[in-house]
Amino acid sequence: MQAESIIGTSVPRKEGRDKVTGRARYIDDISLPGMLYGATVRSSVPRGKIKNITFDPGVPWNEFVVVSAKDIPGTNCIALISDDQPCLADGLVNHPEEPILLLAHPNPHILPKAVAAIRIEYDPLPSLFTIEESESQAEVIWGTDNTFKRFLIEKGDVDQVWAAADYIVEGEYTTGAQEQLYIENNGVIASFDRERGVTLWGSLQCPYYVHKALMKLCHLPEDKVRVVQMETGGAFGGKEEYPSMIAGHAALLAMKSGKPVKIVYDRMEDMAATTKRHPSRTRHRTAVSRDGKILGGEVEFVIDGGAYATLSAVVLSRGTIHAAGPYFWPSIRVRARAVATNAPPHGAFRGFGAPQTLFAMERHMDRIAAILGISPVEIRRRNFLKPGQTTATGQTIREPIDMGRLLERALSLANYSEKKDSLRRDHQSATRRQGIGIATFLHGAGFTGSGERYLASVVGIEGCADGRVRVLVSSTEFGQGTKTVLSQIAAETLGLDYSDVEVAQPDTETVPNSGPTVASRTVMVVGKLVHSAASGIRETLIAAGLLSEGYSRDAFLKACAAYVAAHGEFKSWARYEAPPGIFWDDEKYRGEAYAAYAWAVYIAQVTVDLSTYSVSVDDFVALQEVGRVLHPVLARGQIVGGVAQGIGFALYEKVVWQNGRMQNSQMTNYIMPTSADLPVIRVYFEELGNVHGAFGAKGIGELPMDGPAPAVVNAIADALGTGFDSIPLLPEDIFSAVTAGGLDTPPASQGAR
Amino acid sequence: MTADHGRCEVAMTVNGKAAKVCAHPMERLLDVLRRDLGLTGAKEGCGEGECGACAVLIDGELANSCLIPVLQANGASVVTIEGLAREDRLATLQQAFVDCGGAQCGICTPGMIMAATCLLRKHPQPALDAIREGLSGNLCRCTGYAQICEAVAEASAHGEER
Amino acid sequence: MRSDPEDYELVAPATLSAVLPLLAAEPGEWLPIAGGTDVMVQYAAGKLPARKLVSLWNLPELRHIEVSHDAIHIGAACTYTDLREHALIAQEFPLLAKAASWTGGIANQNRGTLGGNIVNASPAADSLPALLVYEAELILVSLRGERRLRYVDFHTGYKQTRLAPDELIRAISLPRQFAGYISYARKVGARNAQAIAKVCVAAAASLQRGLIADVRVAAGSVAPVPLRLRETERLLRGRAVDAVLVEQARRKAGEEVRPIDDIRSTAAYRSAVLGNLVAEFLIQLTAEQIA
């Protein structure tokens, strides 16, 4: 084995060269012979019955392929968890961007005119647009009570704590929809022939989700659907479930026309019609002792799922489990609901429910501190979960995490106490206020509870004729560094050079189902399987007598090549097995929610300009414990990118709704941060290691989305002496609050006694 | 310029080579580069000049090719991301993007590198604020820009070519 | 892309004198397009009503900056980059140089033109308040000949102007009489770059013996057209800046305009921020006076 470790070094990104030269091929860079372009005719009302569809006779419709729900060979649904979402509306529409008809034509430029030439008349039905309207059940738009899913977590007897409490602190916190805003819009190409069935190339995260959806929609067996991931220009969850929809559309057009069909959304359609982060409302009621100990509390968490169930239940689950934050609760009750509204379905977005409940938790900690008259640092220090204690789901913390120590280090990195004093003393003027805020949080890696056991992911390693190896996974690269890190793991396991490993293009015909590329699971769960499968290759070679322990790279290459020459195919498989002693109760929501957690302390320093009521983030410290850092440059890239999205979530990114439709579906009016809007984001790691992950890694992708919003809003509260409990927090909101209440009023203390 | 069903011939120099296309004058330069010339490095992110993913150099100046009717590029010299590397040798900036983690999903990368190329030609030693301003017309959703700015600083330390 | 190129016609004459007869022959039929940063956005969105376009990009007659002893003439097709990089503009007309730096990113500054910004007539346009402060004059040209029009009279209502259907802006002329002025410019957008103004202010004043001798304050995004704040200016002229005046001006500026609620901001916010920016201008004025 080579002495130098590849793990922990910043090897060049596998596909980096292709990306910087423009050679990387994304879906819209591909064109097939005879290809048609597809377009979607969507609803224009939030809810109603389709009365009549008229095609303007001025358009030569015979040149077009037209698909309606009646053309669907299989089941008219996007198969996911519950199959309630139609692929094409059949008689009824439930949101204002719902697909009704599909068109295809060889000339993409005439499609918008054709879409506009189709007139659809509706009998409108009453619609619901907010969580509150949905809860009122003034109209039932889904199921029997507008509720997609409920969860209840109960730990201890929270009903007993109120009488003993010195303080009962209440708060309500809301978060808005957030657009993933990957720079590459959703897009696919589908082709069909009787022999091979449907082949689908696309920009997507989860090839096997699309595979499953197309089988059901197109009524095709497993081997007649092939899904291939192209280079994918950002996803962030936005290409987790939605690609099944656009893939279904392209496949239907391809099946009807017999020609390849490309559908690539433009920005306006992508923003208006595809998923966004679930808007949420979280209510806390917390019993606290005089010395700042949480005694118990109730949390009510509600998310707006939009018109169909999609992934709302799973988003709700993660939000529910993270609602308690990194704190010890002797007793807690969390009630959670996902409700229906007549908006396009909300979906996966980095963090997946956790950014919503952690925003609430971390704002609420500052509220508790203010009411008790202790510092935001102290309230957290006194309540951190410690090894041996149990989480809200009753999971015993086994890893040696010391959040108190993490907090001390972050405070010192941010120069917190000195700044806290000097900001108060020196930097407040009539027009500028500065403040500093903290968020402490955790994020569970991998699927929740029994999720990984159900998934039973499979990974393969293939020995190639030249002695090098290929990683066979459906785990996708969309910027995070999947290919690079999985290659590092395989190379390290086998004692090879990084360049001796390649990762196969995700193609359901050639790679096994290693699970979806979501939930911060790729490095920890899939990486561990890569390690196992690679070990299998090595053991096979040793057992075959081709290799002996302590071998050199050259010896491996020769042995592997010899094995392939002798046996033909050489593949080693590894399947996920749940570690022993893991218990999870899906009914009661109790047990080991996650195999491992990443832990973090983020500190933001802000200036509020009282001439413009705008906020600038001046300094940002992001300290996290993520197990072993396998690739420092990629890991830091994940953190900085996540923090940037988190700052956007807090301060810039507002979806303007009108009757369930996004009004600002352009990059000019949906505002994400530019390079001129972000501070230097200072990233630090602690590395405790993790027995469940490859070479000690945990998940990292979602964690940085959780902390920035509460840290920034806590800093604004510190600067202005007045709290804000809703994001996005725009200058107009600060203006309204400042004008209504003035500054330096004590924080709201409803429920204090 | 000859008319043919409303089409016209447009002659450009693209990445140093003469290129003639027959296109409708209101076709976007972006589409002509991608479809007619097979140069798919420039990307469409927003179609309204906001994201910079389609940025190219026209007569040495940075421009969003989604906002340019191809007729306006007649006679111009256009450089795209495909024109930066010499044979197999990456340009300094491209190498710096690989080394520093400046490219994640890669979709903004071609436009970002064109903007950075333009910036370093005008300001060979830019301070961080100048880098941020120079790249502020190019949106990146993955990186939070830090490693992009570091790549530009790294390239500026190495000089234009290496 | 939501338009079909085949529905449009685009010609690119080599000279200005070849453009004008087109406009004269079919007045209002031809839409001039310079850098395309507005026209092409509408086009891509499928919202461009005009069907015939004539390119003004790089017409030599429109892309030069001429300095005489009492004025600077800026060709209408000069880009924001041209403005930013011109030494005399930076020195004597800093509000314009600053506004040019606000507009879009570098790529759009390389294509967007001052003339285009004027005829596009968006109340949120970054460069227009500066032109109001500097008492710009427009030189309009058509086959009928040239005429001069004070820029302040150019806009007649939301996206309405006095430009005749056969006319173009040839140049923008600024008198060189502001060298000694203290100037103030600030744009408030949703972010620091690539933003459309929620409020923007350009202001300049000259002081004599501690009193405001001359003052001009103009604002964008607070009315259907870019606006001079005449009442605020009247309040300030001849006065010494003190805390009382700052508060009076803050209030006056906010009251003088009637902004609207829209997708980008609220009327109340815009009025208040306008007042705050005017106050900031006055405070800066006293600071510079002391310095």
In which band, very low, low, confident or very high, does the pLDDT at A423 lie, cut at 50, 70 and 90? confident
Please provide the average confidence, as pLDDT, over all residues in chain A: 95
Distance (Å) from the C-alpha of residue A615 to the closest C-alpha of chain C? Answer: 10
Q: E strands within A493-628?
A: 501-503, 571-575, 584-585, 590-591, 596-609, 614-625
Please say if the pLDDT value at position A753 is more than 50: no
pTM to 2 decimal places? 0.97
Residue A620 phi/psi, 5° resolution?
A: -145, 120
CA–CA dist A297, A283 (Å, integer) = 10
Locate all alpha helices (DSSP H) within chain C, ordered by sequence.
16-25, 39-44, 80-85, 87-92, 94-102, 106-109, 114-120, 128-133, 230-236, 243-256, 267-290
Q: Give whole-number Cα distances, C135 to A395, B138, C163, C184, in Å.
A: 72, 35, 18, 16
Q: For A667, which of B34, B48, B97 is closest by C-beta distance?
A: B48
Put simply, the answer to whether B68 touches C111 (Cβ < 8 Å) is: yes
Put simply, the answer to whether A20 touches B97 (Cβ < 8 Å) is: yes
CA–CA dist A271, A268 (Å, integer) = 5
Please say if the pLDDT value at position A566 is more than 80: yes
For A260-315, write each residue's pLDDT tens digit: 999 999 999 999 999 999 999 999 999 999 999 999 999 999 999 999 999 999 99
Question: In chain B, which segments carry CATH 1.10.150.120?
Answer: 92-157
Average pLDDT over residues A432-456: 94
CA–CA dist C16, C60 (Å, integer) = 8
CA–CA dist A649, A500 (Å, integer) = 41
CA–CA dist A251, A228 (Å, integer) = 13
- pLDDT recorded at residue A421: 85
Q: For A641, which of B42, B90, B104 is closest by C-beta distance?
A: B104
Average pLDDT over residues A199-225: 98
Q: For C12, which of B6, B31, B74 is closest by C-beta distance?
A: B74
For C51-86, write each residue's pLDDT tens digit: 999 999 989 999 999 999 999 999 999 999 999 999
Residue A295 phi/psi, 5° resolution?
A: -95, -30
- pLDDT recorded at residue B4: 56
Confirm or reject contact between C235 and chain A (CB < 8 A).
no
For A39-56, write each residue's pLDDT tens digit: 999 999 999 999 999 999
CA–CA dist C110, B118 (Å, integer) = 11
Chain C residue whose CA is closest to B134: C106
Average pLDDT over residues A162-188: 98
In which band, very low, low, confident or very high, does the pLDDT at C233 lie, cut at 50, 70 and 90? very high
Distance (Å) from the C-alpha of residue B82 to the closest C-alpha of chain C? Answer: 19
Q: Cβ–Cβ contacts within 10 Å for residue C55, how many? A: 23
- pLDDT recorded at residue A627: 95
Please say if the pLDDT value at position A155 is more than 50: yes
Please say if the pLDDT value at position B2 is more than 50: no
Distance (Å) from the C-alpha of residue B157 to the closest C-alpha of chain C? Answer: 22
Q: For C1, which of B47, B63, B137 is closest by C-beta distance?
A: B47
Query: Which amino acid, one-letter code, is at A460?
Result: G
Confirm or reject contact between B134 and chain C (CB < 8 A).
yes
Rounded percentage of chain A residues whose pLDDT exceeds 90: 94
Determine if residue C33 is left, alpha or beta; phi over 0 gives left, psi from -120 to 50 gives alpha, anything else beta. beta
Chain B residue whose CA is closest to C107: B63
Average pLDDT over residues B70-92: 96
Average pLDDT over residues C133-149: 98
- pLDDT recorded at residue C289: 75
Tell me if A544 sits within 8 A of A563, measured CB to CB. yes
Average pLDDT over residues A62-74: 98
Distance (Å) from the C-alpha of residue A39 to the closest C-alpha of chain C? Answer: 11
Please say if the pLDDT value at position A745 is more than 50: no
Q: Calculate ∠ Cα A62-A64-A70, nearest 5°.
A: 95
In which band, very low, low, confident or very high, does the pLDDT at B88 lie, cut at 50, 70 and 90? confident
Q: In C, residues 45-74, which contact A (CB 8 Å cutoff)? A: 45-46
CA–CA dist A553, A551 (Å, integer) = 7
Longest dimension (CA), chain C: 65
In which band, very low, low, confident or very high, does the pLDDT at A685 lie, cut at 50, 70 and 90? very high
CA–CA dist A449, A593 (Å, integer) = 4
Domains of chain A with CATH codes:
16-24+457-575 (3.30.365.10), 31-125+181-273 (3.30.365.10), 280-448+589-741 (3.30.365.10)
CA–CA dist A451, A208 (Å, integer) = 16
Q: For C107, which of B26, B64, B72 is closest by C-beta distance?
A: B64
- pLDDT recorded at residue A391: 98
In which band, very low, low, confident or very high, does the pLDDT at A752 lie, cut at 50, 70 and 90? very low
For C212-225, write each residue's pLDDT tens digit: 999 999 999 999 99
Q: For A732, which of C6, C192, C265 is closest by C-beta distance?
A: C265
Confirm or reject contact between A731 and chain C (CB < 8 A).
yes
Average pLDDT over residues A215-241: 98
How far is C-alpha A333 from the geometric centre of its chain's CA atoms? 25
Confirm or reject contact between C213 and chain A (CB < 8 A).
no
- pLDDT recorded at residue A1: 43
- pLDDT recorded at residue A544: 97
For A571-582, write each residue's pLDDT tens digit: 999 999 988 878
Confirm or reject contact between B130 and chain A (CB < 8 A).
no
Tell me if A448 sits within 8 A of A321, measured CB to CB. yes
For A91-117, write each residue's pLDDT tens digit: 999 999 999 999 999 999 999 999 999
Q: Which CATH superfamily is domain B8-83 in?
A: Beta-grasp domain (3.10.20.30)
CA–CA dist B89, C119 (Å, integer) = 47
Chain B residue whose CA is closest to C79: B61
Question: In chain B, which segments carry CATH 3.10.20.30?
Answer: 8-83
Query: Which amino acid, one-letter code, is at A480?
Result: Q
Helices A242-257 and A207-218 pack at an angle, to 10 degrees, of 40
- pLDDT recorded at residue B6: 87
Average pLDDT over residues B66-81: 98
Put simply, the answer to whether A267 touches B103 (Cβ < 8 Å) is: no
CATH pick for B92-157 out of 3.40.50.300, 3.30.9.10, 3.20.20.70, 1.10.150.120:
1.10.150.120
For C4-45, write each residue's pLDDT tens digit: 999 999 999 999 999 999 999 999 999 999 999 999 999 999
Both tokens of A274, joined, read 């595809």
Please say if the pLDDT value at position B112 is more than 70: yes
Q: Which residues of C touch B (CB under 8 A)?
A: 1, 3, 5-6, 8-12, 33, 35-37, 40-41, 43-45, 53, 55, 57-58, 81, 104-108, 110-111, 192-194
Residue C274 phi/psi, 5° resolution?
A: -55, -50
Put simply, the answer to whether C110 touches B63 (Cβ < 8 Å) is: yes
